[in-house]
Amino acid sequence: MKRIPFYGGNWKMNHALAQTEAYLQDFVNYAFPDSCEIVLFPPFTSFHLMQKYLGSTPISFGAQNFYFEESGAFTGEVSLSMLKDMGCTHVLTGHSERREIFGETDEMVRKKTIAALDLGLVPMVCVGETLEERQRGGTAEKIRSQVEAALQGMSEADTSKLLFAYEPIWAIGTGVNASQDDAREGIATVRGVLRNSYSDSLAQKIRIVYGGSVKPENIATYMREEGIDGGLVGGASLKAPSFYELIQNGTL
């Protein structure tokens, strides 16, 4: 099945307003391929600039984080309806930095994913193993457990709306990218859970991308592998020319 490649730019905690505006003034003028989907994940403070510059383009933007409740006494949190009001279309759930640094559990990831679907946003569920888990041969077990936890109680119709990212934690921001075989096998594990939990047709429909030190120089090698549908990009997405080059190289 032909799946549309997805390229997400996760800026993390980078780019103040002046940097964001300069980036977008440059980025929107590139001639992007028609055959892919592009989503930027900036800090919340840049959402109004995303609205301003991306509104008339095919490029979308999403949120790196949110809380699953609609409103209430949750100091410092942002709700999905607030994000949607700003034009946000996608959200990340389960990113390893949220899990490892901020203590988000599988149950919280599941609640956030379901809440996003209920409000009509597209969640990208992130999964991946630590170096220690990998060294003891626990990669597949970790991926399966995270995917199964996120999908618990979810209908096939809702699951069909998800995106997934396989991001081995040991490769995120380290400059040490996973091999093509590592990426292919991790993504195949995700797809296997989808197949076993629902159906082969669903597993073949859902896009699963690789993330972890993805660069313009290596994206094409990943995209040649079976089942890899794009990239969730960190550092290489922080400069407009670099992210554009990555997208171009990945869709050749």
pLDDT in tens, the chain (252 residues): 689 999 999 999 999 999 999 999 999 999 999 899 999 999 999 999 999 999 999 999 999 999 999 999 999 999 999 999 999 999 999 999 999 999 999 999 999 999 999 999 999 999 999 989 998 999 999 999 999 999 999 999 999 999 999 999 988 777 777 899 999 999 999 999 999 999 999 999 999 999 988 999 999 999 999 999 999 999 999 999 999 999 999 997
Domain harbouring 80, CATH code = 3.20.20.70
20 inside domain? yes
Is there a domain that residue 52 lies in?
no
- Domain assignment present for residue 174? The answer is yes
Residue 11 makes CB contacts below 8 A (sequence gap 6+) with: 40, 41, 42, 43, 46, 64, 237, 238
Catalytic residue IDs:
95, 167
Q: 5, 4, 3, 49: which is closest to 28 by C-alpha?
A: 49
- The length of the chain is 252
* Closest CA relative to residue 191, chosen from 227, 230, 157: 227
In total, how many domains does the chain have?
1
Question: What pLDDT does 174 receive?
Answer: 76
Residue 152 included in any domain: yes
* All residues at 6 or more sequence positions from 176 whose CB lies less than 8 Å from its CB, including other chains: 170, 213
pLDDT score of 171: 83
In a domain, 53, yes or no: no
Domain around 232: 6-28+37-46+60-66+76-250
Residue 51 lies in a domain: no
Residue 131 lies in a domain: yes
- Examine residue 233 and state whether it is found in any structural domain, yes or no: yes
Q: What is the pTM of this model?
A: 0.96
Contacts of 158 (CB under 8 A, 6+ apart): 114, 117
